[in-house]
């Protein structure tokens, strides 16, 4: 398929999307690398304000899809509608070491925004006291929060997160997940989270998608009350079905694909012990702990 007919329309799409109650519409998306289709006639709608998590094995096209939605990859065929106001945060915070934290937050903004604009975004993520610091003095959790502030300062209608917690230790990761949950509830923007962690997807998302062979192979709504409890039988069932779709059995409670093993087709996936309880409460005062 020729890629000459590709269309990514952030400039004219916002009104069209709003009229349909959508934040994203993807129709027949194709992305090829040296003749190999990484994304193959993909269809996807994300509702305004919806939190969607995208799972899949490495190389299935997850990050490529996110880059297309972010406008970083335009060598495509098909139609992609995204709002003009969008922002992306990657696994690596990508802070410029020669700029103080507040200047990093303002990178790429049009005009000459003042320091106060950055400080408001940093306060929102619990990092206002580090506005004048150099990036090399930040902890991993602080650097990731600075990256989130840089995304939020753009007041996005669509927030794209590409495995933003993957490099964090377990406790800092829980704190960062709480922070994202709170910011999403307060901001009301749509979120697409790319992750390898099944539990993370179920903790945060309204809907979980599984990508395989360049397409959305499976999706399920997560109709569980927040904060979510991994001891809930409905959680256990959802987790087992997702692991089955991914063809893996988790080695532990994290449910990450990187720590998973293939299972025989007739072997049911293991679920977490029913007495295990983990609450992800966006109102938890510990959210701002690095």
Chain segment 1-40, per-residue pLDDT in tens: 444 445 555 556 777 888 889 999 999 999 999 889 999 9
Give tens-digit pLDDT for 221-275: 999 999 899 899 999 999 999 999 998 765 455 555 544 433 333 334 334 444 3
What mean pLDDT is predicted for residues 61-84?
93
Residue pair 152/125 in contact by the 8 Å Cβ criterion: yes
User: Does residue 149 sit in helix, strand or coil?
Assistant: helix
Q: What values do phi and psi take at 117, rounded to 5?
A: -65, -45
Residue closest to 280 by CA, chosen among 152, 146, 182, 165: 182
Record the pTM.
0.82
Residue closest to 196 by CA, chosen among 39, 62, 94: 62
> Which residues does 127 contact at the CB level (< 8 Å), separation at least 6?
101, 142, 145, 146, 149
Give tens-digit pLDDT for 100-150: 999 999 998 988 899 999 999 999 999 999 999 999 999 999 999 999 999
> Which residues does 231 contact at the CB level (< 8 Å), separation at least 6?
272, 274, 275, 276, 277
């Amino acid at each position: 398929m020729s890629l000459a007919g590709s269309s990514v329309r952030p400039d004219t799409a916002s009104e069209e999307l709003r009229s349909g109650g959508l934040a994203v519409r993807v129709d027949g998306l194709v992305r090829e690398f040296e003749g190999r289709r990484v994304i193959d006639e993909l269809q996807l709608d994300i509702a305004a304000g919806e939190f969607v998590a995208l799972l899949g094995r490495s190389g299935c096209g997850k990050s490529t899809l996110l880059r297309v939605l972010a406008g970083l990859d335009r060598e495509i065929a098909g139609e992609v509608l995204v709002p003009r106001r969008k922002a992306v945060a990657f696994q690596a915070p990508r802070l410029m070491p020669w700029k103080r934290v507040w200047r990093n937050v303002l990178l790429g903004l049009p005009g000459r925004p003042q320091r106060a604009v950055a400080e408001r975004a940093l306060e929102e993520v619990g990092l206002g006291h580090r506005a004048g610091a150099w990036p090399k003095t930040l902890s991993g959790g602080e650097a990731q929060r600075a990256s989130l502030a840089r995304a939020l300062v753009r007041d996005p209608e669509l927030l794209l997160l590409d495995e933003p917690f993957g490099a964090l230790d377990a406790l800092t990761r829980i704190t960062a997940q709480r922070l994202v949950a709170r910011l999403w509830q307060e901001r009301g923007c749509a979120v697409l989270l790319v992750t390898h962690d099944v539990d993370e997807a179920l903790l945060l998302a309204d809907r979980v998608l599984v990508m395989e062979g360049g397409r959305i192979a499976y999706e399920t709504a997560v109709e569980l009350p927040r904060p979510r409890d991994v001891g809930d039988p409905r959680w256990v069932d959802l987790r087992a079905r997702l692991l089955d779709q991914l063809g893996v059995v988790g080695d532990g409670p994290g449910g990450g694909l990187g720590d998973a093993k293939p299972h025989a087709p007739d072997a049911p996936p293991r679920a977490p012990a029913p007495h295990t309880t983990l609450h992800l409460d966006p109102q938890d005062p510990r959210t701002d702990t690095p």
